[in-house]
Structure 1
Amino acid sequence: MLVTGIELLKKANEEGYAVGAFNTNNLEITQAIVEAAEEMKSPAIIQVSEGGLKYAGIETISAIVRTLATKASVPIALHLDHGTDFNNVMKCLRNGWTSVMMDASKLPLEKNIEVTKNVVTIAHGMGVSVEAEIGKIGGTEDNVTVDEREAAMTDPDEAYKFAKETGVDYLAISIGTAHGPYKGEPKLDFDRLKKIKEMLKMPIVLHGASGVPEADIRKAVSLGVNKINIDTDIRQAFAARLRELLKEDEEVYDPRKILGPCKEAMKEVVKSKMRMFGSEGRA
């Protein structure tokens, strides 16, 4: 069933677990996420970045996700990940997204508040949930790039002001994670996370979670993270299985025989994340 993001994250916030938000770009990734969710009896968020919109086409990827989600036996939300372009956010609202992210985190705080508040007003009027970001997440994801050395941790007081003035439904904060593969082991600021959660008492989002040690993920969930974004791990599982298949059989050419096993590899990654986040059996 297709639901809004806040329907999933309100329950997660109340019961103390996190919902995985998994990026998709095509049919096979979407199938892997939905099948994993059904097997794990877990809610899921399927998200598309602006790069994903450009790659697949907004109407095409909307049709794929909405069709599979509507037929699913578990609740699934369709989310725009890192919407830096206001026009893209509006296009997603018009094409059936049930959750959108307005990422104006590169702007000064007051301008970020202004832009986000405007999106919240429009989206809420359409019954759609909104995520925003304050602070900067290191690394690169599509057209969003932040140098790790320049990544700014989220200030708790600013986060409180931002949440109060925008009316946003869930907030992505920076506590030391990064987009893309890690060059070393990430050092998460759990004290900062705890303080922000205690002040805001709302669903908190962790970006750049691929590659973060399981113990750190579980601790972050215990301290109030309710939405965790996963993209790189899924891509790497796909690529690794693809290389194996082509090495095992250089004559294979049927896309079904290639993409089918790759889908299964991605599904196993998604299922492992659902166990880790505590969302198994929560549908």
Structure 2
Amino acid sequence: MPLAATGDLVARAAGTRSAVAAFNVITLEHIEAVVAGAEAAGAPVILQVSENSVTFRNGRLLPLARAAVAAAEAAGIPVALHLDHVQSDDLLRQTSGAGFGSVMYDAARLPYAENLAATRAAADWAHARGLWIEAELGEVGGKAGQGGGAPLDAHAPGARTDPEEACAFVADTGVDALAVAVGSVHGMTSRTAALDHGLLGRLAAALPVPLVLHGSSGVPDGELVAAVAGGIAKVNVGIALNVAMTGAIRDFLAVRPEAVDSRTYLGIGRDAMAREVTRIMRILGRPGT
């Protein structure tokens, strides 16, 4: 089916008190696993290509983007394509004509005034081309802090998104969704993050746009369910797929160290990722819970 619009999927999820899952993809196996897992769950999904993934692919956006578009068009469920955590204005401009319906512009590392100005310019550019745009305010753990310094702890003073500041930021930038810092951490391999649900409730009540949770791989199931009930409409997942894939391949090669055909262990890794996609999507699709 044709590519879905990210904004439509997020708005529909917000309207049913559920959340749409957005999975970061690095390889063709990631793409195939996300689509297969979403089809098993019977729910729409967002494929995300991050700036880091583009860097890994020798700075080339189109090979992975075109693979994602082809997989989306062959899928039995709606699939949207999103460019994630873009800091490069040059990369932002490469979305035009590449199949992307949305972008997350990440200037959160900058001081507030610079973040606002850069995000406003990115939003103007994106909207002029029909792109839905997400931004971030506050400092989600696991990334470099403002000015490129050491990552700020997700629970440190000043890390969390301030509702009053967020309202002004959304109004002044014109973004369509906001990723908020409420205690999750990028890159976690253990699922032990504790979210600030009181703050999330205040943000959801104050802001006129859907809220996004980054760093969701480290958030336990119960916390995810509560976050969706509290107003999160888009949930970003990345490292959980890599944990599933790497674990499955490691287990296979431990038993079959003589294996050299990459199709055998990549297929096992792809299947493990697909199962994790289905599991997460079924958690997020419990409207009103």
TM-score (norm 2): 0.91
**Cα offsets for 1:173-204 (capped at 9, x unmatched):** 00011011267832211111101111113210
Q: Is the 8 A contact 2:194 2:219 kept in 1?
A: no
1:40 aligns with 2:46: no
User: Within 1, Cα distance between the matches of 2:114 and 2:286?
Assistant: 35
The reply on whether 1:206 has 2:213 as its aligned counterpart is yes
Matches of 1:279 and 1:222, distance apart in 2: 9
Q: Which residue of 2 aligns with 1:2?
A: 3
Match of 2:234, SS? strand
Pair 250,34 (structure 1): closer, same or farther in 2 beyond 3 Å: same
Distance 1:215 1:155 in 2: 24
Question: Residue type matched to 1:217 in 2?
Answer: L
Deviation by residue 1:240-270 (Cα, 9 ceiling, x = unmatched)? 0111111111121112111111100000110
The 1:15/1:144 distance shift into structure 2, 3 A limit, reads: farther
Structure 2 residue aligned with 1:174: 181
- From 85, 107, 111, the equivalent of 1:108 is 111
Is residue 2:201 matched to residue 1:194?
Answer: yes
Aligned match of 1:27: 28
Residue 138 of structure 1 contacts residue 145 of structure 1 at CA under 8 Å; is this kept in 2? no
User: Greater CA deviation, 191-200 or 250-259?
Assistant: 250-259
**Superimposed CA distance per residue, residues 143-176 of structure 1 (whole angstroms, 9 cap, x where no aligned partner):** 9962316561000001111111111111100001
Quick one: distance in 2 between partners of 1:200 and 1:257? Answer: 48
Pair 1:260–1:144, CA change in 2 (3 A): farther
Q: Could you tell me which amino acid in structure 2 is paired with residue 238 of structure 1?
A: M
CA spacing shift, 1:245–1:183, aligned 2, 3 Å: closer
User: Following TM superposition, by how much is the alpha carbon of 1:72 offset from its aligned partner in structure 2, in angstroms?
Assistant: 1.3
Separation (CA, whole Å) in 1 of partners of 2:45 and 2:235: 10
Residue matched to 2:132:
129
Which residues in structure 2 correspond to 1:61-140 (within 5 Å)? 61-140=64-143
Task: State the alpha-carbon separation in 2 of the partners of residues 194 and 237 from structure 1.
Answer: 32
Decide whether aligned partners of structure 1 residues 144 and 68 sit closer, same or farther in structure 2, where only a CA change above 3 A counts: farther
**C-alpha RMSD of the superposition:** 2.0
> Per the alignment, in what secondary structure is the counterpart of residue 148 of structure 1?
coil
Runs of 5+ unmatched residues, structure 2: none
Unaligned runs of 5+ in 1: none
CA distance in 2, matches of 1:279, 1:217: 11
**SS of residue matched to 1:146:** coil
Q: Which amino acid aligns with 1:23?
A: N
* Amino acid paired to 1:27: L
Distance between the aligned counterparts of 2:191 and 2:85, measured in 1?
24
CA separation of 1:223 and 1:41: change in aligned 2, threshold 3 A: same
How many residue pairs get matched?
279
1:54 counterpart = 2:55 = yes
Tell me how far apart the structure 1 counterparts of residues 171 and 165 of structure 2 sit (CA, whole Å). 10
2:226 is matched with 219
**What is the aligned partner in structure 2 of residue 275 from structure 1?**
282
